[in-house]
Amino acid sequence: MAARAQKLTALVAVVLAFFLLDAPLAQSRDTGSAPRRIVSLVPAITEMLFAIGAGPQVVAVSSYDEFPPEVKALPKVGALLDPDTERILALRPDLIVVYGSQSELEKQLERAHLRTFSYRHGGITTTLDTIREVGLATGHRRESDDLVSSLKARLDAVRDRVKGRPRPRVLLVFERLAGTLREIYASGGVGFLHEMLEIAGGTNVFADVGRESVQPSVETLLARAPDVILEVRAAGLIEKSGSDERDAWAALSSIPAVKNRRVHLVRGDYLVVPGPRLAMATEAFAHALHPEAFK
Partner 1 sequence: MITADSAETDGTPLPRRTTSSSIRGRLAATILGFGTVALATCVLAPLVGTTPISLTRALDRSIPFDQNVDAQIFFVARLPRVLAGALVGSALASAGVVLQAMLRNPLATPFTLGVSAGASLGAMLVIVLGGALTLGPLSTVPMASLAGAAAATAVVYWLATRQGHAMSTSVLLLAGVTLNSFLSAIIMFVQYIADFAQVYRAARWIMGDLDIGGYDTLIASLPLVLAAYVLFAWLPASLNLLSVGKDAAAARGVDVPRAQRLAFFSASLATSAAVSLAGPIGFVGIVVPHLVRLLVGVDHRIVLPASALFGAAFLVACDLLARTILAPIEIPVGVVTAMIGGPFFLWLLVRKS
Contact residues for partner 1, defined by CB under 8 A: 64, 79-82, 175, 177-183, 209, 215, 217-223, 225, 237-243, 251-254, 258-259
In the complex, least distance from residue 237 CB atom to partner 1, rounded to whole angstroms: 6
Q: Identify which of residues 85 and 220 has a Cβ nearer to partner 1 in the complex.
A: 220
As a whole number of angstroms, the distance between CA 38 and CA 15 comes to 29
Q: Identify which of residues 7 and 182 has a Cβ nearer to partner 1 in the complex.
A: 182
Q: Identify which of residues 53 and 268 has a Cβ nearer to partner 1 in the complex.
A: 268
In the complex, least distance from residue 77 CB atom to partner 1, rounded to whole angstroms: 15
In the complex, least distance from residue 93 CB atom to partner 1, rounded to whole angstroms: 23
Residue 149 is inside which H or E element, if any?
helix 141-162
In the complex, least distance from residue 177 CB atom to partner 1, rounded to whole angstroms: 6
As a whole number of angstroms, the distance between CA 95 and CA 30 comes to 9
**Helical segments of 163-211, H only:** 192-199
Residue 79 backbone phi and psi in degrees, to 5? -150, -140
Helix 141-162 and helix 43-51, axial crossing angle in degrees, nearest 10: 100
List Cα–Cα distances, 259 to 78, 165, 176, 247, in angstroms. 45, 21, 20, 12
CB under 8 Å to 169, separation ≥6 — which residues? 202, 203, 204, 205, 224, 225, 226, 227, 228
- Rg for the chain, CA atoms, rounded: 23
Residue 119: Cβ within 10 Å count: 22
Q: Identify which of residues 29 and 182 has a Cβ nearer to partner 1 in the complex.
A: 182
Q: Identify which of residues 12 and 223 has a Cβ nearer to partner 1 in the complex.
A: 223
Q: Identify which of residues 5 and 81 has a Cβ nearer to partner 1 in the complex.
A: 81
As a whole number of angstroms, the distance between CA 178 and CA 184 comes to 10
Give the count of alpha carbons within 13 A of 259, CB side only.
8
In the complex, least distance from residue 255 CB atom to partner 1, rounded to whole angstroms: 8
Q: Identify which of residues 21 and 223 has a Cβ nearer to partner 1 in the complex.
A: 223
